[in-house]
Amino acid sequence: MSNRNYNYFVEGETEACLIRAIRQKYIQSGRITKINLLEKDIPSGFIKTIKPFTILIIVFDTDVDDMKLVERLKNNTGKLKKSSHVKDVILIPQVNNLEDEIKYATDISEIKDLLQSKSNKDFKRDFCKCNNVTDCLVKHSFNIEKFWSRKARNKYSIFENDGKKIKLKRRR
Amino acid sequence: MIVMNLELDNLLGFDDFKINFSYPRKIVNSTIKGEFLPNKTNFRFKKVNILLGVNASGKTTLGKAMMHIFNFITHKSPVRLLESVKDKRRKAFFSIDFLIDENIMYRINCEINLDEKDHSKSILMLEVYTAPIGKRDSYEICVRKLEQVKVKDDNKSSLDVLDSVKNLGWHFTFPDIGNTDIRIDKDVLSLDILKRVLKTLDTSITDVQKSDEVENSYVIRSRNGDIFIQNGKIIEDILSSGTKMGIDISYVISSICKGMHGFYYVDEKFTFIQTDIEQFLLGIMIDKLGPLEQLFFTSHNLDLLDMDLPVHSFTFLKKDENIEAVYPSDFIKKNDISIRNAFVNDVFGTTPDLSQLWDLGEFCDE
């Protein structure tokens, strides 16, 4: 591992659970912070705490097609890039959300099929309780190259998807 | 004394908790000498255990649990253990594997059925096991050789089985209760060590002298005035927080140098002390540990991760639903990987969750 620090910003616990499960195996390990940078301004206090050589990764949903949200994310990204401690800001738009990303990167047609949840609504709860997420993904032909690879087609299309920058190359 | 394994359930903050102090492979050119039994090199144990973790992750509580267990084994008084039962309606349990010398390994299992109304009516199911340690045995082999010790005399209570365990020694020092041993072990504290530690921590201190008139007392000569320490207690409190800690730290180093206790649990004694000094003094403690001695050292200082120590010396405690021990050595297999960098990138899943603090500024604005 290089001296770089990776810091993920995710919207909710489900994304955090996924990153905890697949880091070191499919993606760079990094610290996880649950904050929706489409809805919240980045506090200036946080910017002072960023360690040198930090790569910030912002994972966000694109299912609410609202220009206000897009503008806020743009604004937050701009603020973060100004910090001399920030080596890179990597944006990962989820098309349209985590469930759709998982479906796209596996062989399941409904998200409840991943963990045999009772309903699609139960998925998030089951996912965070599951302690073998990686095995379940592999069982359903999880393809890391497809995961977090697409660009949104709505107002979020101004953001490139740089997911490949944090994917580990040694394992498929 | 060496603790090899500890399991706690429903005691203090612990549920289904396990922590182990053996390590799998011989480390070539280790900076910690003799992390195995004398003449029994396959019996490897973690001589130095640096426990790190966020606030309320169980570092202090682990020390207190061990202290209660050692007191129970030595004095056969279960009072503290009974008070430590978390859920009074449920059985509590501990199991500890340890050695006092290089010849025998002990295991003590204890199940506690607490009588909530009258603690004295509580039932303790106690089992003591021993295993002889052969020349080529590892800890794992000795675990398989454990055999239960039976009380042969019907007139004896089940607690008397603990008679087979003798000569346990330990020293715990916690930030909240200070160092009570200074009062008791009057000749342990080395004046030379105390002088050097205090002068490093406070440059206004010019000398430290032992008082000729009052027993177990020292005078700290400072440019700001003289300070009197009696039985480890500072009489005129004009020292900084870090310098005050220096008295306890000097005692620990003195007792390690003199091989007084064999087991040391140093809990967050360096909170107010500059990081280079902490690392240096920890290095001295490690170097001076005897062959059958063990040091536990808790800290929040991540700079310790940069010290040239084997990866297995570090253990993180983390609390989600339960407290659990996380070993960086399970994640880092190569020596060229920085433990600190792995920690910062949350490889061990032990960085604090700051999500709650993100909105804090907004409350200040209100």
What was the ipTM of the complex prediction?
A: 0.83
Query: B42 with B163, same domain?
Result: yes
**In this complex, do B346 and A29 lie within 8 Å of one another by their Cβ atoms?**
yes
Q: What is the 3-state secondary structure (H, E, C) of chain B?
A: CEEEEEEEECECCECCEEEECCCCCCCCCCCCCCCEECCEEEEECCCEEEEECCCCCCHHHHHHHHHHHHHHHHHCCCHHHHHCECCCCCCEEEEEEEECCCCEEEEEEEEEECCCCCHHHCEEEEEEEEEECCCCCCHHHHHHHCEEECCCCCCCCHHHHHHHCCCCCCEEEECCCECCHHHHCCCCCCHHHHHHHHHHHCCCEEEEEECCCCCCEEEEEECCCCEEEECCEECCCCCCHHHHHHHHHHHHHHHHHCCCCCEEEEECCCCCCCHHHHHHHHHHHHHHCCCCCEEEEEECCHHHHHCCCCHHHEEEEEECCCEEEECHHHCCCCCCCCHHHHHHCCCCCCCCCCHHHCCHHHHHHC
pLDDT value, residue B364:
77
Whether A126 has a pLDDT exceeding 80, the answer reads yes
Query: B225 with B80, same domain?
Result: no
Residue A101 tokens read as 């990303």
pLDDT value, residue A29:
95
Q: Which residue of B has its CA nearest to A13?
A: B355
In angstroms, the separation between the Cα of residue A107 and the nearest Cα of chain B is 29
- Give the mean model confidence (pLDDT) for residues B39-46: 96
B176 versus B292: which is more confidently predicted? B292
Would residue B365 count as lying in a domain?
no
Q: Which residue of B has its CA nearest to A46?
A: B358
Query: B276 with B345, same domain?
Result: yes
B241 versus B108: which is more confidently predicted? B108
- Of the pLDDT bands very low, low, confident and very high (cuts 50, 70, 90), residue B151 is confident
pLDDT value, residue B156:
66
For residue range B73-131, what is the model confidence (pLDDT) as tens digits? 999 889 999 999 999 999 999 999 999 999 999 999 999 999 888 888 888 899 999 99
**In this complex, do A35 and B358 lie within 8 Å of one another by their Cβ atoms?**
yes
CATH number for the domain that contains residue B73: 3.40.50.300
The C-alpha angle with vertex B324 and arms to B322 and B325, in degrees rounded to 5, equals 170
B213 versus B42: which is more confidently predicted? B42
Whether A1 has a pLDDT exceeding 60, the answer reads no
- Chain A touched by B331 (CB under 8 Å): yes
In angstroms, the separation between the Cα of residue A153 and the nearest Cα of chain B is 30
- Give the mean model confidence (pLDDT) for residues B198-202: 95
Whether A160 has a pLDDT exceeding 80, the answer reads yes
The answer to whether B256 and B281 have CB atoms below 8 angstroms apart is: no
Report which DSSP code applies to A27.
Answer: B
Would residue B363 count as lying in a domain?
no
Terminal-residue alpha carbon distance, chain A: 19
- Lowest mean pLDDT, pick from A65-79, A100-114, A144-158, B108-122: B108-122
pLDDT value, residue A45:
84
Based on the structure, what is the number of domains in chain B?
A: 2
- Lowest mean pLDDT, pick from B123-137, B203-217, B250-264: B203-217
What range defines the domain where residue B235 resides? Answer: 177-260
Percent of chain B past pLDDT 90, that is, above it, reads 69
- Of the pLDDT bands very low, low, confident and very high (cuts 50, 70, 90), residue A154 is very high
Residue B158 to residue A117: CA distance in whole angstroms: 50
Query: B165 with B293, same domain?
Result: yes
Domain boundary among B241, B260, B279: B260
Query: B234 with B298, same domain?
Result: no
Residue B283 to residue B263: CA distance in whole angstroms: 16
The answer to whether A65 and A14 have CB atoms below 8 angstroms apart is: no
Whether B347 has a pLDDT exceeding 80, the answer reads yes
Query: B132 with B197, same domain?
Result: no
Would residue B309 count as lying in a domain?
yes
**In this complex, do B344 and A51 lie within 8 Å of one another by their Cβ atoms?**
yes
Share the mean pLDDT of chain B: 90
Domain boundary among B212, B232, B260: B260
Whether B176 has a pLDDT exceeding 80, the answer reads no
SS3 for A89? strand
Interface residue ranges in chain A relative to chain B, Cβ cutoff 8 Å? 1-3, 5-6, 20, 23-24, 28-35, 40, 43-46, 51
- Of the pLDDT bands very low, low, confident and very high (cuts 50, 70, 90), residue B155 is low
How many other β-carbons are positioned within 10 Å of the β-carbon of residue A95?
A: 19
pLDDT value, residue B305:
95
Nearest by CB: B345 against A31, A35, A45: A31
Residue A142 to residue A160: CA distance in whole angstroms: 22
Query: B270 with B252, same domain?
Result: no
Give counts: helices (H), strands (E), chain A: 6, 4
For residue range B309-343, what is the model confidence (pLDDT) as tens digits? 999 999 999 998 899 999 999 998 876 778 999 99
Domain boundary among B260, B295, B314: B260
For residue range A91-111, what is the model confidence (pLDDT) as tens digits? 999 999 999 999 999 999 999
- Of the pLDDT bands very low, low, confident and very high (cuts 50, 70, 90), residue B254 is very high
- Chain A touched by B191 (CB under 8 Å): no
In angstroms, the separation between the Cα of residue A166 and the nearest Cα of chain B is 13
- Chain A touched by B39 (CB under 8 Å): no
Whether B160 has a pLDDT exceeding 80, the answer reads no
Share the mean pLDDT of chain A: 93
pLDDT value, residue B119:
83
Residue A18 tokens read as 């996924």
From chain B, the residues in CB contact with A28 under 8 A are: 345
Query: B50 with B188, same domain?
Result: no
Whether A144 has a pLDDT exceeding 70, the answer reads yes
In angstroms, the separation between the Cα of residue A8 and the nearest Cα of chain B is 10
- Of the pLDDT bands very low, low, confident and very high (cuts 50, 70, 90), residue B357 is confident
- Give the mean model confidence (pLDDT) for residues A132-161: 96
- Of the pLDDT bands very low, low, confident and very high (cuts 50, 70, 90), residue A171 is very low
Residue B291 tokens read as 């062959």
> Quick check: bond before A96 cis, omega within 30?
yes
- Of the pLDDT bands very low, low, confident and very high (cuts 50, 70, 90), residue A172 is very low
pTM summary value:
0.89
- Chain A touched by B364 (CB under 8 Å): no
Query: B166 with B204, same domain?
Result: no
- Lowest mean pLDDT, pick from A1-15, B38-52, B150-164: B150-164
SS3 for A91? strand
Which residue, B339, B47, B361, is CA-closest to A42?
B361
